Amino acid sequence: MAPARTPLSLYVHWPYCSFLCRFCAFSKARVPAGGVDHALITRALLAELRTSLAPHSRDKELRSIYFGGGTPSLAQPAHVAQIIEQASRLVPLAASAEITLESNPTSAETDKMAAFKAAGITRYSIGIQTLDDGVLQRVGRLHSGAEALAAANRAASLFPGHVSLDMMFGFESQTVDQWQRELETVLAHANGHLSLYQLTVEPGTPLFRDIRAQRVKRNPDDTLALMYETAVALCRSRGLAHYEVSNYAASPESQSVHNIGYWQGRQWIGIGPSAHSRFIDPASGTCLRTVRIPDIQRWVRSCLEHGHGTAKSETVDDAEARQEAVVFGLRMLDGLSNARFMRTGCVSSGALSLAEYLRVNQVQRYLRDGYLRSSGRLDHLAPTERGLQVIDSILLDILP
Amino acid sequence: MEWKGSGNNDLEAAVSMGIEKFILSPFVNFVPQPFASYIVQAHGFASTIAKTVMDTLCMNNYTGGFIDTNYMVPLPASKDTVFMYPSPQIAKGMLKACRLFQKQKGLQKRRKRPGRKTPASRMRRAWKHPLVGCALPCSQRYKTRQSMATACGYLRKASMKSGGYATKADGLGAEIDITGYTPDRIRNFSIIAHIDHGKSTLADRLLETTGVITKSGKNKQVLDKLKVERERGITVKAQSASMFCEHDGRKYLVNLIDTPGHVDFSYEVSRSLAACQGTILLVDAAQGIQAQTVANFYLAFGEGLAVIPMLNKVDLPTAEPDRAALQIESAFEIDAANIVHLSAKTGLGIDRVLPSVIERIPAPSGSIDAPFKALLFDTWYDKYVGVVCLMAIKDGAVRRGDRVVSMHSGTRYEVMEVGIMHPEQRPATQLQVGQVGYVVCNMKSVAEAHVGDTFHKDKFPVVPLPGFAPAKSMVFAGVFPLDAGEFDKLNESIQKLTLNDSSVAVHKETSAALGQGWRLGFLGTLHMDVFRQRLEEEYDASVLVTAPTVPYRVQYKDGTSKYIQTPADFPTAIEIQDKVDAVMEPFVLATLIFPEQYLGAMLELCTMHRGDIHTHTYLDESRVMLKCRMPTAEMVTDFYDQLKSRSQGFASFDYEDNGYNESDLVKMEVLLNGEAVDALAAVMHRDNVATVGRTMAKRLKDVIRRQLFDIIIQTAANGKVVARETVKQLRKNVTAKCYGGDISRKMKLLNKQKEGKKRMKKIGRVELPQEAFLSVMTGSKE
């Protein structure tokens, strides 16, 4: 029997958007005036895919593929199919592999949904953000709430049990009541999965500048906390379990395999401009973190010339890997098992247990106060609902 | 790799071994070889070594030069490097050494260019290396005037970069002879003025006209050597400089003793005045007499010095010289008819300053035939030679090799070097009666140098001079390392800094909240601020300074009394009732001078700070001088800031010590979640408790960040809570989105936050930012 293959995820970054949201801090660009040169981008993606996946073909299997962006629903389904097909030829796809595509709910993109399914997409994620047409317009999104719900319905019929809807809360002047009503509507259209994000003001975004210039007001922290608590309670009452800070699923099968990979420290390869990767280099055995060139034109040129557009590659040492394992593991209500922690990514020095690594007296205090829970002598560590809500503060205390 | 050594062979051995760091111990018999060349590659230590080499060269009567290409970065020769190539042999030697160095370091040998074998071109090649030092005997001086002038020019440039060291070779290392300057040809004077009236600028101009420094337009407050002095435009440490000038066909040696201008440093002023026979009272013609003008005048007057009033800044459009002259006449009752008008900035009237000094200030008294007697009036620590003493010679003479005795301690010292400040140390063959100069005599610690001490020659005792009372600390503050692990480093830094500032009183202190630290006594709040800034800038130490307090005195019923330097030691309410006879607080007599329209505001300010108005007099029809007695504690908070803001900057202020008075004092404590924080406690008058308690609680609420539990802030006095504020529990703190691409950013942020957390002080579980301690410090009345 062949030895078990190590799971691997693939992230594909499609860099273009038809509109730019004022809060977005991701790497993206507006579709150029003459339209996107789909063939060129695909050629570059395929070249990078080949270079990056080939070294992993012998001992890995693909658990998930994720098309993110940007707005990958602007891509042509045929090209998406080509990428999936090429990837699976390089590294075998696991039987139940999850292949997600992110989309915006404009009617044009909704029309392509069936074609994407035919191309191999198994899970569909729709960025609704809000149903309030006024807010949608103010943040720069060119679709309506009604279009979003129509897209959600269409996705539910094509990808039953495998649809994710993205929502945001904390927009200027939004009240807790408004948020609750909006969420109720969305819950009625949900099919398996919800991602509910607090609006985050990232430096460098137009929203950030608006707030700095006091053109836009920020919601008070306590209001945001209340909105978050409302979301947790409401989802639970509708049978959607909270499993990560901002993610809710109807059943374990509806959870995002790809994203759980990030939180559990699975290796992943990212292709496309500005995409990150984190994997154990088969040649050297060290853990690497790489970033691709962010500028689209330069990235394309580099891919076509050198077969990849890697801008930066650095090793992740054990200390970093362990820190990441805890920081990301504790974002999930399931938490982090000691067994998984001891296997952490790239341990090249001896294995360390959670009890040896963390500041135990601090952990115990949080256990006692009901912020964390554990089984055995830290065989497993997880945040409680209450703890998850302030996990960033807790981490500062428990990490060495 | 590191190599410690003391001499020629060591240095050469180190070089040949490619040692990267060479520590050349001072005070040892390192005798430079004539025509020898030294190359030292010293990462980060280049300038230190350069200075050591230069020192050693100069002390051994050699001239020398060094090339400091600023740590591996070759600089263009014309700008920032200095070189001397007095003879081809030297250049040849240096070049040879450079080649050796190149070979050892495996550096590419540069291709020879035919026809360009001048020493200069060789030297240029040598600049590829970090540091080159060379030595030559004095007999091998520069051949022509031209080359000497060039070399001196370069040295001056280098001097600016090297902190003045290169200038030592300026005089070609020789000791100058000033024995011809008998007391009748010597004048010792100082300049006293209010802050910003142009004292240091006038000093610059005088140094320029007498050729001590070159006229480059870049001389800005040459005597203010500390970075904080230049930044704040104040003089902290008195400096002195000697000048040679001609008047009526005779040559004079004029010594200028610079004095600090700020109120906190009046102690330094009186020290400097003791070394002079006269002083220039410099008054800004636009601003007129200010509080420190008055204070300094009376200091000088008390010393019996000749006072020459002069008006500065007469070129300003707002200048009113006549009015200022009138004020001088009415305030000091001195004749201001022939007052000198000048503008130190433009140079107007500068030529009249030194003649006035020579004509109107008496020559120092004393006799060359009497046994040597000198007043030690200032010291500083030099890391190469130890303590440098500034002395005013009252009788006799002193030269290298003499054995002198301190009357204070009885210790004998051998004089290693004497000289004048010109403006850097310049060795002289001898210092004699009436002169003011420095003496290096193998003193290892500033504690040995007792300012005000009288020195005499061994076996020739003299009647001691009156001396000065030691500096008295007006305010005390706790200083703690931010990170307890940095205690040792901070300890060392404080020791080094107090070497040069003996007016800081140092005691160890342990705080329950802040751990081990010090309680330091300062002359005033500015002094405290300057000390903290120097600690942070010059020694790269991060410190936490607690709120300043004044020394309270507690008289017990059993007749004993105790000075309280920290609120933690203040007796509790019960103790006060049972054991204490009286609690006393120190007072000052403050002098305020301001335009008449602010009289109301100033009276109110004084009353608000528990001041007791003594007198107010009109200096002229529009300027008022107010004398007011007030508790020192009121002055150390925000009095000065309030004074400036309420008078729109027009009021000036000075103070003097004025004894103790009984006072109704209580200790106010700050409790965080019920736990008293000793470092936040403060002693204050009972009347202030309610207002201060409320503001303090509010301020703390603003600076303490929300944590995972409610934080209750209470201020309490005598067991009764004065005010209460709550910092609500943090409800949510979690990053919303965290996927693949966010990981690096998230981890960076986390590590930054962890760093920030380290800088917090923990009181129980409550994290206190540094601002919390500052918030108690800055002002207590809104």
User: Which tens digit of pLDDT belongs to each residue from B682-722?
Assistant: 888 888 888 888 988 998 898 888 999 999 999 998 888 99
How far is it, in rounded angstroms, from Cα A95 to Cα A262?
Answer: 20
What pLDDT, on the 0 to 100 scale, is given for residue B152?
A: 38
Interface test with A, best of B705, B710, B739, B758 (most A CBs within 10 A): B739
Verify whether the Cβ–Cβ distance A389 to B733 is below 8 Å.
yes
What pLDDT, on the 0 to 100 scale, is given for residue B776?
A: 64
- Judged by DSSP in three states, B774 sits in helix
What pLDDT, on the 0 to 100 scale, is given for residue A349?
A: 62
Verify whether the Cβ–Cβ distance B736 to A245 is below 8 Å.
yes
Can you tell me the mean pLDDT for A201-230? 90
Q: What's the pTM value of the predicted model, to 2 decimals?
A: 0.63
What pLDDT, on the 0 to 100 scale, is given for residue B261?
A: 58
Q: Which residues pair with B685 in a beta bridge?
A: B665
What pLDDT, on the 0 to 100 scale, is given for residue B779?
A: 47
Can you tell me the mean pLDDT for A27-36? 87
Residue B499 has a CB neighbour count (10 Å cut-off) of: 17
| A200 vs B contacts (CB less than 8 Å) | 735-737
Q: Give B738-782 pLDDT, tens digit per residue.
A: 888 888 888 888 888 888 887 777 888 888 887 777 666 544 443
> How far does A259 lie from chain B, in Å, by closest CA?
7
What pLDDT, on the 0 to 100 scale, is given for residue B223?
A: 54
Residue type, B320: E
> How far does A391 lie from chain B, in Å, by closest CA?
6
What pLDDT, on the 0 to 100 scale, is given for residue B344?
A: 85
> Residue B123: pLDDT above 90?
no
Mean pLDDT lowest for which of A34-48, B212-226, B395-409, B634-648? B212-226
Q: Are B134 and B94 in contact (CB under 8 A)?
A: yes
Taking the C-alpha atoms of B339, B344, B345 and B349 in order, what is their torsion angle to the nearest 10 degrees? 60
Q: Give B573-610 pLDDT, tens digit per residue.
A: 888 888 888 899 999 998 888 888 999 999 999 998 88
Mean pLDDT lowest for which of A155-159, B512-516, B604-608, B778-782? B778-782
How far is it, in rounded angstroms, from Cα A267 to Cα A257?
Answer: 13
A26 lies within 8 A of chain B by CB: yes
> Residue B211: pLDDT above 80?
no
> Residue B464: pLDDT above 90?
no
Place of tokens 């963390």: A358
> How far does B712 lie from chain A, in Å, by closest CA?
19
How far is it, in rounded angstroms, from Cα B12 to Cα A23?
Answer: 65
Q: Give B310-365 pLDDT, tens digit per residue.
A: 999 988 888 888 888 888 888 888 887 778 888 888 888 888 899 999 999 999 98
Verify whether the Cβ–Cβ distance A324 to B747 is below 8 Å.
yes
Q: Which residues pair with B128 in a beta bridge?
A: none
Q: Are A351 and A339 in contact (CB under 8 A)?
A: no
Q: Are B136 and B87 in contact (CB under 8 A)?
A: yes
What pLDDT, on the 0 to 100 scale, is given for residue B678?
A: 83
| A198 vs B contacts (CB less than 8 Å) | 736
B117 vs B275, which has greater pLDDT?
A: B275
| B746 vs A contacts (CB less than 8 Å) | 327
Place of tokens 């991701």: A26
What pLDDT, on the 0 to 100 scale, is given for residue A68?
A: 92
How far is it, in rounded angstroms, from Cα B262 to Cα B523?
Answer: 11
| A263 vs B contacts (CB less than 8 Å) | 738
Interface test with B, best of A390, A394, A395 (most B CBs within 10 A): A390
Q: Give B604-647 pLDDT, tens digit per residue.
A: 999 988 899 998 888 877 888 899 999 988 888 778 778 888 88
> Residue A40: pLDDT above 90?
yes
What pLDDT, on the 0 to 100 scale, is given for residue B231?
A: 52
A390 lies within 8 A of chain B by CB: yes
What pLDDT, on the 0 to 100 scale, is given for residue A93?
A: 94
Nearest CA in chain B to A396: B754
Q: What confidence tier does B168 reach under pLDDT thresholds 50, 70, 90?
A: very low
Verify whether the Cβ–Cβ distance A390 to B733 is below 8 Å.
yes
| B741 vs A contacts (CB less than 8 Å) | 26-27, 270, 274-276
Q: Interface pTM (ipTM) of the complex?
A: 0.89
Can you tell me the mean pLDDT for B437-447? 82
Q: Give A94-151 pLDDT, tens digit per residue.
A: 988 999 999 999 888 889 999 999 999 999 999 999 999 999 999 899 999 999 999 9
Interface test with B, best of A268, A327, A367 (most B CBs within 10 A): A327
Nearest CA in chain B to A25: B742
Per cent of chain B over pLDDT 90 is: 11
Verify whether the Cβ–Cβ distance A26 to B741 is below 8 Å.
yes
The set of residues, in sequence order, having a beta carbon less than 8 Å from that of A289 and lying 6+ positions away, is A276, A277, A278, A313, A314, A315, A316, B743, B744
Per cent of chain B over pLDDT 70 is: 71
> Residue A14: pLDDT above 90?
yes
What pLDDT, on the 0 to 100 scale, is given for residue A69?
A: 83
Q: What confidence tier does B91 reach under pLDDT thresholds 50, 70, 90?
A: very low
What pLDDT, on the 0 to 100 scale, is given for residue A39?
A: 94
What pLDDT, on the 0 to 100 scale, is given for residue B90?
A: 38
Taking the C-alpha atoms of A317, A319, A322 and A326 in order, what is their torsion angle to the nearest 10 degrees? -130
B98 vs B389, which has greater pLDDT?
A: B389
Nearest CA in chain B to A197: B736
What pLDDT, on the 0 to 100 scale, is given for residue B224?
A: 55
Per cent of chain A over pLDDT 70 is: 98
Residue B649 has a CB neighbour count (10 Å cut-off) of: 10
Computed over every residue of chain B, the mean pLDDT equals 73
Which of A228, A331, A396 is nearest residue B753 as measured by Cβ atoms? Answer: A396
Q: What confidence tier does B127 reach under pLDDT thresholds 50, 70, 90?
A: very low
User: For the residues of B464-503, what is the DSSP string, one character each?
Assistant: PP---PPP---EEEEEEESSGGGHHHHHHHHHHHHHH-TT
User: Considering only CB atoms, which residues of chain B are within 8 Å of chain A?
Assistant: 707-708, 728, 730-741, 743-744, 746-747, 750, 753-754, 757
Place of tokens 């020579």: B358
Computed over every residue of chain A, the mean pLDDT equals 91
Mean pLDDT lowest for which of A133-137, A213-217, A292-296, B513-517? B513-517
What pLDDT, on the 0 to 100 scale, is given for residue B676?
A: 86
Q: List all residues of chain A from 266 to 295 with a beta carbon under 8 Å from chain B.
A: 268, 270, 274-278, 289
Mean pLDDT lowest for which of A116-130, B212-226, B258-272? B212-226
Verify whether the Cβ–Cβ distance A324 to B743 is below 8 Å.
yes
What pLDDT, on the 0 to 100 scale, is given for residue B262?
A: 59
What pLDDT, on the 0 to 100 scale, is given for residue A383?
A: 96
What pLDDT, on the 0 to 100 scale, is given for residue B424?
A: 73
> Residue B2: pLDDT above 80?
no
> Residue A28: pLDDT above 80?
yes
Q: Are B594 and B623 in contact (CB under 8 A)?
A: yes
How far is it, in rounded angstroms, from Cα B241 to Cα B425?
Answer: 9
| B750 vs A contacts (CB less than 8 Å) | 323, 327, 392, 395-396, 399
> How far does B690 lie from chain A, in Å, by closest CA?
32
Q: What confidence tier does A77 reach under pLDDT thresholds 50, 70, 90?
A: very high
Q: Are B262 and B528 in contact (CB under 8 A)?
A: no
| B743 vs A contacts (CB less than 8 Å) | 262, 276, 278, 289, 324, 328
What pLDDT, on the 0 to 100 scale, is given for residue B273?
A: 82
Can you tell me the mean pLDDT for A255-280? 94
Interface test with A, best of B731, B747, B758 (most A CBs within 10 A): B731
Nearest CA in chain A to B751: A396
Which of A222, A270, A327 is nearest residue B746 as measured by Cβ atoms? Answer: A327
> Residue B472: pLDDT above 90?
no
Residue B469 has a CB neighbour count (10 Å cut-off) of: 9
Place of tokens 């001078």: B593
Residue type, B552: Y
Can you tell me the mean pLDDT for A228-238? 95
How far is it, in rounded angstroms, from Cα B287 to Cα B148?
Answer: 46
Q: Are B20 and B42 in contact (CB under 8 A)?
A: yes
User: For the residues of B378-395, what is the DSSP string, one character each?
Assistant: EEEEETTTEEEEEEEEEE
> How far does A193 lie from chain B, in Å, by closest CA?
16
- CA nearest to A12, candidates A60, A72, A74: A72
Q: What confidence tier does A259 reach under pLDDT thresholds 50, 70, 90?
A: very high
Residue B745 has a CB neighbour count (10 Å cut-off) of: 13
What pLDDT, on the 0 to 100 scale, is given for residue B651?
A: 84
Residue B29 has a CB neighbour count (10 Å cut-off) of: 9
What pLDDT, on the 0 to 100 scale, is given for residue A305?
A: 93
How far is it, in rounded angstroms, from Cα A168 to Cα A149?
Answer: 15
